[in-house]
Structure 1
Amino acid sequence: MPHGRTPASSQPTRPPGVVGSSTSYAAPPPPPPTYATRTEEALLRAPTRINQSHLHPDKINGALWIGVDPEVHEFIRATWQGNFRGPWQSWLKVPVEKRTSWWHSFIQQYYWEDQFHEESYFKWKLQTRVTICRRISQKRQKNKQPSYISATDWETILANWSTAEAKAKSQSAAESRFAALPRLKMHVHGAGPHTFANIAYNMVVEEGMEGPVSYPDLVRKTHCRKDGTFLDERAEALVLEVEQAVKEMLQDGSPLGDSQTDSTAATRTSKRLLLNKEYIKVIISPAHSWTDTGTIYGLGNLQCKNKRPSESVPAALKREINMEMRPQASAAQASQSQHHSPSHSAAPPQGQAQPKGHGQDPTPPHDQPQDPGDAQPQHLITTNNSALDRLCNELGL
């Protein structure tokens, strides 16, 4: 985690040997901030930092983001490769002071709002950790010494990889990569070197979409051939199950199934949220073995876009859906309230007189007055609320 001050204990301390004394003693003061912490605070508060390239998870106003824009990835890679100099084959082997210097270089290159600080550090650390492991592992597979590692350090890394413990760990990781569910093949995708978050963003830009892509659409994009057939059996089964479930929801009285509003942006957004919600529901269902690692199958690094460091991936995705669903539910409820408002029901049905006491003469009756039993109800209900209510209840709104 980023460097921070150690919180003071909330429990008062007593001198040794004093038991049951009524005198209260203050907690010891927190230790002074370290040099690295003071340095980081100074870098973050530098006035000129506002002029640096902007980072934002939603890429507003042309901002960049970690895991989406290649130039950010290239800077992260160039930073650690330009200041490596050690026999470290993974992030965990790198000394803390070296990691801190890389992080401080990142702070001096990009600017982000305070609210995204923890998330920026989390994404930066994840990207750095993955690239270190991947780059050095690729060099080892090609039996080629990296230019940023000295010959002596490279020999040390190779020796560490030759131990029985390292070999057993490598074998276990290889088995996990090639593992597959019973009667299914190994997971494959067609994203190539591009991250899923980058592909999702490009889909929005290239197709002129008004909002993010749905999870099933992203899985189709990354797991299908050019002719639309799936590369991966699990991805195909998952997408088809989710899409069929949402199709049935829309046909079963959902307000999204109204043909008069199917073309509106609000309906497209609501349908996307339904698809995303059902996707997560299927993934984490005990009836399926889609994941056992706490990650969401088929979404790549997109699932970590707005994830907080202390959050699980499913919890983060559900939180994002809930936040985006609130305006949709509020708009739907406001629309229903307009249908039920007195302005729509104050006028009496044709052939009936207005109630007395409103300062108006009664309307003359028609030649053939209506039977009271044939009169229309005062409140005209035109919207089915049950599906929306069920959806809001499931989302906890």
Structure 2
Amino acid sequence: MVDIAEEDVGDRIELRVVGNNFVPHGHRVSAYITSKFKLRQYASGHTWGHLDEEGKDFYYKEFLKIYTWQPGKEEQFKSTWNLYCQQLYKKLLHKWRKKIHPPTHVPTNVWAAWQIVWSGVKWKKKSEVATNNRNSEVAGTGTGVTKHTAGSRSIIEHTLKLEAELKRKINCWEVFRITHRHKDGTFVDARSQALDDNMTTRISEISEATTDGEEPHTPSQDAINDIYYEVVGGMKKRCIYGLGSQAKVVFPHATSASTGRVRPSSSCVEIQELRAENADLKTRVTELEEKMREFMARFVLSQTLVPPSAFPDFSSPIIDSDETQAP
């Protein structure tokens, strides 16, 4: 096992973990890890999970040559490194498997060992299932495969960059918009466009003034996050659509729970209460308007049915009662 003292930092770059991502420059960290996989290969390493401890220790030592953890965060640091390796190793070997000939830096005996596993019936079935899952239209036929415009940078990196520019925290809807729209403002697919339309409608409903003359209610950032969670349908397969690694930052309890459910937050309760209050006020206003219309109808009707004789005649001169007395 690798044993490096925390004090021995030297010129190494200290990384912190946000969600399941290294920051800063997580995309550069990914590139560095991938480059080290090309230095040495092992026969047991047809997948990261099957790679023996000798191989994993070698790659970890290479990683620690330029990166280190924050004080007291070694366990979290290594766990995140392992997650990176699982994803990046899988991606690299998928690329290599498409080649007719093995990469020049992969030893012949290692490549032969991998080929035995990859050519097996069990592996081919799993590969076929994975391919179908990647190509599935999760939002329905015609919506296309899920896409984004985040590029090689994680959504967490995009979030931190925008927050630094705006000098404030941003909500899930803002994160979604910056990672699912092209430069011309159009969305990457029909699903993302539909989600944005739904969010616009929901936020407009919440923002409506409850009574005449009252200022519109502006939902808090937490409230918008809760609306987003509801609109996308919560967590599915330990993921929340459109958020990537940022989901663990915004909804840590939801993404770590085995059921994939999240307890309603105070802001979510606030939204429900405002909706109920708004509906009650609208009902009361409608009732008052109906009563006013009935009153006006009765008033107009009373003016047309009362005969003129029922009103005093002010056209005749008023005679003093003393003038009518006999002399």
C-alpha distance in 2, partners of 1:218/1:70? 18
Q: Which has the higher contact order (CA 8 A, sep 6+)?
A: 2
C-alpha distance in 1, partners of 2:102/2:82? 24
C-alpha distance in 2, partners of 1:130/1:161? 18
Check conservation: 2:42, 2:51, Cα contact below 8 A: no
Residue aligning to 2:231:
282
Check conservation: 2:42, 2:55, Cα contact below 8 A: no
Percentage of identical aligned residues: 18
Check conservation: 1:87, 1:154, Cα contact below 8 A: no
- Assess, with a 3 A threshold, how the Cα gap between structure 1 residues 236 and 95 changes in structure 2: closer, same or farther: same
Residue aligning to 1:52:
12
The alpha-carbon deviation at position 226 of structure 1 amounts to 2.2
Residues 151-162 of structure 1 aligned to structure 2 (within 5 Å): 151-162=108-119
- Assess, with a 3 A threshold, how the Cα gap between structure 1 residues 121 and 312 changes in structure 2: closer, same or farther: farther
Equivalent residues, number = 266
C-alpha distance in 1, partners of 2:59/2:130? 28
C-alpha distance in 1, partners of 2:32/2:156? 18
Residue aligning to 2:49:
92
1:313 to 251, 255, 261: 255
Q: 3-state DSSP class of the match of 1:229?
A: coil
- Assess, with a 3 A threshold, how the Cα gap between structure 1 residues 241 and 175 changes in structure 2: closer, same or farther: same
1:113-165, CA deviations, whole angstroms, 9 ceiling, x for partnerless residues? 34544432232111111111111111222434234421221122223211111
Residues 200-211 of structure 1 aligned to structure 2 (within 5 Å): 200-205=159-164, 208-211=165-168
Q: 3-state DSSP class of the match of 2:22?
A: coil
Normalising by structure 2, report the TM-score. 0.67
Check conservation: 2:16, 2:24, Cα contact below 8 A: no
Q: Which amino acid aligns with 1:313?
A: T
1:300 to 228, 239, 244: 244
1:182 to 140, 165, 173: 140
Q: Which has the larger radius of gyration?
A: 2
Aligned-residue CA RMSD in angstroms? 3.8
Check conservation: 2:33, 2:85, Cα contact below 8 A: yes
C-alpha distance in 1, partners of 2:36/2:61? 10
Q: Select between 271-280 and 47-56 the one with higher mean Cα deviation.
A: 47-56
Check conservation: 2:36, 2:59, Cα contact below 8 A: yes
Residues 3-18 of structure 1 aligned to structure 2 (within 5 Å): none
Q: 3-state DSSP class of the match of 1:48?
A: coil
C-alpha distance in 2, partners of 1:66/1:307? 19
Residue aligning to 2:197:
240
Q: Does structure 1 residue 214 correspond to structure 2 residue 133?
A: no
Normalising by structure 1, report the TM-score. 0.56
Q: Which amino acid aligns with 1:296?
A: I
Check conservation: 1:196, 1:300, Cα contact below 8 A: yes
The alpha-carbon deviation at position 176 of structure 1 amounts to 0.5
Residues 73-88 of structure 1 aligned to structure 2 (within 5 Å): 73-86=30-43, 88=45
- Assess, with a 3 A threshold, how the Cα gap between structure 1 residues 99 and 179 changes in structure 2: closer, same or farther: same
1:140 to 77, 81, 97: 97
Q: Does structure 1 residue 101 correspond to structure 2 residue 64?
A: no
Q: 3-state DSSP class of the match of 2:16?
A: coil
Q: Does structure 1 residue 172 correspond to structure 2 residue 129?
A: yes
Residue aligning to 2:221:
272
C-alpha distance in 1, partners of 2:221/2:273? 17
- Assess, with a 3 A threshold, how the Cα gap between structure 1 residues 186 and 388 changes in structure 2: closer, same or farther: closer
Residues 16-55 of structure 1 aligned to structure 2 (within 5 Å): 36=1, 39-40=2-3, 43=4, 45-49=5-9, 52-55=12-15
C-alpha distance in 2, partners of 1:197/1:294? 17
C-alpha distance in 2, partners of 1:182/1:75? 38
1:309-340, CA deviations, whole angstroms, 9 ceiling, x for partnerless residues? xx652659999x97xx9xxx9xxxxxxxxxxx
Q: Which structure 2 residue ranges, 5 or more long, are not aligned? A: 275-327
Q: Select between 233-242 and 45-54 the one with higher mean Cα deviation.
A: 45-54
Residues 358-373 of structure 1 aligned to structure 2 (within 5 Å): none
C-alpha distance in 1, partners of 2:9/2:254? 31
